[in-house]
Amino acid sequence: MGEHERSVDWEAAYRALQAAYEAQGQQLAQALETIAQQAQRIADLEARLAKDSHNSSKPPSSDGLGRRPRSLRRPSGRRTGGQAGHRGQTLPLVETPDAVVRHAPTACAQCQARLEGLAGTVVERRQVHDWPPPRLEVTEHQVEAVRCPACGALARGSFPAEVRAPVQYGPRVRAAAVYLNQYQLVPEERTSEALADLFGAAVSDGTIASWVGQASAQLAPAVARIADLVAAGAHQHADETGIHVQGKLHWLHVNSTRWLTHLAWHRQRGRAATEAIGIWPRFRGWATHDRWASYDAYAHCQHS
């Protein structure tokens, strides 16, 4: 092989090595770019996983069972329980109890003489506060017919407006059912069980749902009045959280002042819900919230 041929081979090898080096450089640049993108993606996912209802606008219902709230309270150095000077609360003795049970000795502890029928003196009192035996009280309403002595016509009385059926439950049973189901958040089936166990009232789930609907209709004017007062107030707190209504995700919206709280559920979380509920469009005061974008969109009030 001549000198010229060896020179050509070296130049070809150099160009091949240079091309391979450049290709590897491009591959390395692409790999570094991919690693950077993946690192940013991981950081975004970790930041998203770290968000909960305490550090973002996410509702508490999205926190999951694995998250435990951390207390912000610091040790005070005091022992647990009631502190010195704290006024405790206990059941007081009443002056006129509903029932009195006397416990007199039947025999002398020293000589065993019989003591039945002898007058004694009360030396100590103790009282037990308890429910009366739970039972339904049945009130029968009877309509009378009276013959008029003047004209001979037969006049007939009428039942009260709330007595509509031959047999029905009264307002106290209905109120107890609504209270357990709506305020204490006891499901309808368990509310039915509680009424049967405590009072012997056999109430179906459907009846409880009907009573809740009736109570809602009766309270509608009061709820509307609360909304008006919150909207006209100088300051309000606002928030929303996810709830399930008939198995579907809805949002429970709260608007509150120091003395009033308005709750309303809606299928949507954002502007469509706040407009439908009607408090935010009318509010002109100062609002405290988590800076959810739908709240910040209302520019006619102050935000914090």
Of 13-22, 107-116, 208-217, 263-272, which range is least confident?
13-22
Give the model's pLDDT for residue 239: 95
pLDDT digits (tens, 9 = 90+) for 241-279: 998 888 899 999 999 999 999 999 999 999 999 999 999
* pTM listed for this prediction: 0.63
Give the model's pLDDT for residue 9: 73
Tell me the two tokens of residue 226. 């609360």
Q: For tokens 């308890």, what's the residue?
A: 130
Give the model's pLDDT for residue 107: 92
Torsion sign over Cα 220, 221, 224, 226:
negative
Give the model's pLDDT for residue 1: 53
For residue 251, give the nearest of 263, 262, 234 by alpha carbon: 263
* Residue-level length of the chain: 304
- pLDDT category at 4 given cuts 50, 70, 90 is low
pLDDT digits (tens, 9 = 90+) for 127-144: 999 988 888 999 999 999
Kind plus residue range of the DSSP H or E element containing 48 = helix 3-50
- pLDDT category at 23 given cuts 50, 70, 90 is confident
Tell me the two tokens of residue 260. 């009033």
pLDDT digits (tens, 9 = 90+) for 48-90: 887 777 777 777 767 765 556 566 677 777 777 667 777 767 8
Using a pLDDT cut of 90, give the percent of the chain over it.
64
Contacts of 143 (CB under 8 A, 6+ apart): 156, 157, 158, 159
Give the separation between CA 179 and CA 206, rounded to whole angstroms: 16
Question: What is the rounded average pLDDT for all residues in the chain?
Answer: 88
pLDDT digits (tens, 9 = 90+) for 164-205: 999 999 999 999 999 999 999 999 999 999 999 998 999 999
For residue 285, give the nearest of 217, 224, 237 by alpha carbon: 237
Using a pLDDT cut of 70, give the percent of the chain over it.
91
